[in-house]
Structure 1
Amino acid sequence: MTDPIVVVGIGADGWDGLSASARRAIEGADVVMGSGRQLALIPESPALRVDWPSPLVPALPGLFEQHHDRRVCVLASGDPMFHGIGVTLVDLLGAERVRVISHPSSATLACARLGWAAHETPVVSLVNRPVDTLLPALGDHTRLLVLSRDEHTPAAAAELLTKHGFGLSRLTVLGELGGPDESRLDGTASAWSHEPGARLNVVAIDCRADSGTLRLTRMPGLPDVVFTGDGQMTKHEIRALTLCALAPAAGELLWDVGGGSGTVAIEWMRTHPLCRAVTFERSAARADQIESNASALGVPSLPVFGDAPAAFEDVPPELSTPDAIFVGGGVTQDGLLEECWSRLRLGGRMVANAVTAESEALLLQWFSKCGGQLRKFQVYRGEPLGGFTAWRPQLPVAQWSVTKQSKGDAA
């Protein structure tokens, strides 16, 4: 295929809203690909029209191979590089094989209608994600946009907001933005009663927390009470220190070994929408509680595997090279630390916590051999004692953290 694939963004205003260069790209194509709705927006032409199959992504290599000797134009909704097919095609074919002619995104149009600064407004896509994914973005007086899956997303978002203490939030649903049938619905989450409207819509949320709503931010150290389970978890204060040592950055992958309630993996993923994690837990009951906590705290995509290190072999290739590993349980299990170390990429971080004398002794051995930092934390919590307040100690925790500098050593 000599000519690049041309990806043209098209809005609800259809042909009338396209630039001259976008029209020329469509008119000059031998093959035009897109959804049925998108293809219906352009005038008839001699070009072959290909309606997207379902599922789409697995079919793309074959489609382009079939038309490798033709000029191909792909239609995309709005800005093709904003949660769009353009990103998928660049990943598949390479940037040099794709030419993008953009169009204002639905988020840009929504901000224009509302008078919101586009560069200051977070966007959460629920097009291919559960509605729970919205939760980490919520905060009192925060403004955000939601890209909807369909006409039922606004009601699902309103229900989620109400359930999690944001029932006072103001919602605006903007449908068919830029088109002749553009619509707007307004209301509050707790009183949302509108019938489903336009299938293509953006939900603007002006968040307002109810009185007494727990403050759950992206910063590590969520209250212990937001996690359900049997109490097997890295507690609030130690969890914050552990996440600090793990130092998550956007796009990085964590392996959480000995997941318990999933607290560390969940908080890692909440720090940034691009942060990924997998967790390993031998107990089926605890694996269930990890999945429940992950959904309740807005990271339902967290995968849970079985007993480490055997379950390491079950991890798919795209999740097999962690940037960081946390060992929160099973430190003294034969070969566990060695296997974790072998899986960690060069430059990656490993953090292990220990509460028993035996596990602490093992961390001391690894510290002597590999270096890094060894710390011990003792947390006291003020609790009632009769009519007074007394300091009650938590179990002391030894922590070893290290960066892998070579296949054999760390520093």
Structure 2
Amino acid sequence: MSETPWLTIIGLGEDGLKGLGPASRTALEAAEIVMAPPRHLALVGDLPCETQSWPVPFADGIDILLGLRGKRVVVLASGDPFWFGAGATLARHLEPEEWCSCPGPSSFSLAANRMGWSLVRTVCLGLHAAPLTRLRPHLAPDVKIIALLRDGDAVGALGAYLSDAGFGASAVSVLEALGGPRERVTHLRADAVATERFEHPLCVAIEVAGGGPALPLASGRPDDWFETDGQITKQPVRAITLSALAPRPFDHLWDIGGGSGSIGIEWLLTHPTLEATSFEPSPDRAARISANAARLGVDRLKVVTGAAPDALVGQKEPQVVFIGGGLTAELLKWLEGNLSKGTRLVANAVTLETEALVVDAHRRLGGTLIRLEVARAEPLGPKRGWKANYPIVQWSVSL
């Protein structure tokens, strides 16, 4: 094992070499090659060693970097390389003893200090390479958000997005080139930012205000948050189903028979480490699932167009499976034969045929079997009466 790693990742601020600590300076002095985006190379000026621009897209530079093993290499990144930066991506391709990191202050830390905000009570988002819809789950009055943006033009798009969502009254502070000689902070309302010009690099601090609808935090969001053709697990049943699915950090869900995607979407809204794949045989419904997921800020939902069990073959293994529609004896047999021991399975049955399947499966495999009956008060002539939905038989089991 080498006593000194061949790669040092240095978090660079907008003040260039002035902001570097002793460890970063020592690594730069010993470097044979410095690899960085052109903007970072410009911040440090002329160096005594060889320099190489990191290509675009970023992934194209990884093989180039790995080919430099055996030399002393420095990679320059922005701020803290392990907070929405290049650090974690590079570390996945390296052994622990091959690299070290010298972080600088992150944009989030600098922005919070300029704003006087507590970071532990502030939502931090990297929207420089992600859609603005990632904001949607967090939009509620008085929420504070710090978000990295791609470039100056994205500020206008942000203002339009917030205004369209009903939060045009939000206070937006645009923070450009934090920590450097070009630093500038501009305070505006969201519905006014499109009239200004801003320069990269930048982030925004948002104090949400306005009368737009806020997405509830609890499972079982109202049905009208989802576009649907009628194929949807309705709100009360969805809330009980999410409870039965019992999401845990880093779990991966298979949602078989996605319909409108409501189960997979609510699963992902529970925690940022969760993953989900939705399987839907109808192309129209599959497209609607993707659109619902993107609009509600969980575009990471993977949607597979195809019927189970064939569509399940070769997919990333789940820890949890939900069957909301299309349960057959063939599918159940495939799941029993192919899922790992301990996989949690929840199936909702509406028809007598699927109810017979889950009742038999409960007899053979155990688990929990419950019957859900929901009725709503609706007009009945001049008065009101109960209108019942179809009862649901829900089977939950660890295989």
The equivalent of 1:172 in structure 2 is 173
Question: Does 1:182 pair with 2:178?
Answer: no
Give the letter aligned to residue 328 of structure 1.
G
CA offset at residue 125 of structure 1?
1.1
CA offset at residue 220 of structure 1?
1.2
For the Cα contact (< 8 Å) 1:139–1:217, is it kept in 2? no
The equivalent of 1:326 in structure 2 is 322
Structure 1 range deviating more: 118-127 or 233-242:
118-127
Question: Does 1:387 pair with 2:360?
Answer: no
SS state at 1:193 partner: helix
Q: Distance between the aligned counterparts of 2:286 and 2:30, measured in 1?
A: 55
Question: Does 1:156 pair with 2:157?
Answer: yes
Question: Does 1:303 pair with 2:302?
Answer: yes
Structure 1 range deviating more: 242-251 or 104-113:
242-251
CA offset at residue 62 of structure 1?
4.0
Of residues 37, 46, 49 in structure 2, which corresponds to 1:47?
49
The equivalent of 1:313 in structure 2 is 313
CA displacement 1:75-119 (0-9 Å, x = unmatched): 110001111111112111133322011110000000000000112
For the Cα contact (< 8 Å) 2:136–2:215, is it kept in 1? no
CA displacement 1:46-77 (0-9 Å, x = unmatched): 31111112222244134322x21111111110
CA offset at residue 342 of structure 1?
4.1
CA offset at residue 182 of structure 1?
0.7
TM-score after normalising by structure 1? 0.92
Structure 1 range deviating more: 133-142 or 263-272:
133-142
SS state at 1:240 partner: helix
For the Cα contact (< 8 Å) 1:257–1:326, is it kept in 2? yes
Structure 1 range deviating more: 33-42 or 217-226:
217-226
The equivalent of 1:233 in structure 2 is 232
Q: Distance between the aligned counterparts of 2:268 and 2:336, measured in 1?
A: 22
Give the letter aligned to residue 201 of structure 1.
L
CA displacement 1:299-347 (0-9 Å, x = unmatched): 12322112221112363xxxx1112111001112x42123234443433
For the Cα contact (< 8 Å) 1:175–1:182, is it kept in 2? yes
5 Å-filtered alignment, 1:365-404, equals: 365-404=360-399
Question: Does 1:246 pair with 2:248?
Answer: no
Q: Distance between the aligned counterparts of 1:383 and 1:264, measured in 2?
A: 26
Structure 1 range deviating more: 146-155 or 380-389:
380-389
Question: Does 1:286 pair with 2:282?
Answer: no
Q: Compared with structure 1, are the counterparts of its residues 108 and 342 closer, same or farther at alpha carbon in structure 2 (3 Å cutoff)?
A: farther
Q: Distance between the aligned counterparts of 1:25 and 1:342, measured in 2?
A: 54
The equivalent of 2:23 in structure 1 is 21
The equivalent of 1:7 in structure 2 is 9
Give 5+ residue unaligned stretches, structure 1.
Answer: 405-411
Q: Distance between the aligned counterparts of 1:188 and 1:267, measured in 2?
A: 31
TM-align CA RMSD: 1.7
For the Cα contact (< 8 Å) 1:218–1:267, is it kept in 2? no
SS state at 2:186 partner: strand
Q: Compared with structure 1, are the counterparts of its residues 230 and 345 closer, same or farther at alpha carbon in structure 2 (3 Å cutoff)?
A: same
Question: Does 1:121 pair with 2:122?
Answer: yes
Q: Distance between the aligned counterparts of 1:76 and 1:217, measured in 2?
A: 37
CA offset at residue 161 of structure 1?
1.6
The equivalent of 1:72 in structure 2 is 73
Give the letter aligned to residue 156 of structure 2.
A
SS state at 1:335 partner: helix
Q: Distance between the aligned counterparts of 1:374 and 1:195, measured in 2?
A: 59
Q: Compared with structure 1, are the counterparts of its residues 342 and 103 closer, same or farther at alpha carbon in structure 2 (3 Å cutoff)?
A: farther
The equivalent of 2:273 in structure 1 is 274
CA displacement 1:116-171 (0-9 Å, x = unmatched): 01122121111221111111122221111111122122222222222222222111
Identity of aligned residues (%): 40
Q: Compared with structure 1, are the counterparts of its residues 68 and 304 closer, same or farther at alpha carbon in structure 2 (3 Å cutoff)?
A: same
Q: Compared with structure 1, are the counterparts of its residues 228 and 179 closer, same or farther at alpha carbon in structure 2 (3 Å cutoff)?
A: same
Q: Distance between the aligned counterparts of 1:356 and 1:193, measured in 2?
A: 53
SS state at 2:169 partner: coil
TM-score after normalising by structure 2? 0.95
5 Å-filtered alignment, 1:250-269, equals: 250-269=249-268
Q: Compared with structure 1, are the counterparts of its residues 331 and 127 closer, same or farther at alpha carbon in structure 2 (3 Å cutoff)?
A: same
SS state at 2:43 partner: coil
The equivalent of 1:96 in structure 2 is 97
SS state at 1:217 partner: coil
Q: Compared with structure 1, are the counterparts of its residues 360 and 209 closer, same or farther at alpha carbon in structure 2 (3 Å cutoff)?
A: farther
The equivalent of 1:130 in structure 2 is 131
Give the letter aligned to residue 242 of structure 2.
L
Q: Distance between the aligned counterparts of 2:258 and 2:55, measured in 1?
A: 39
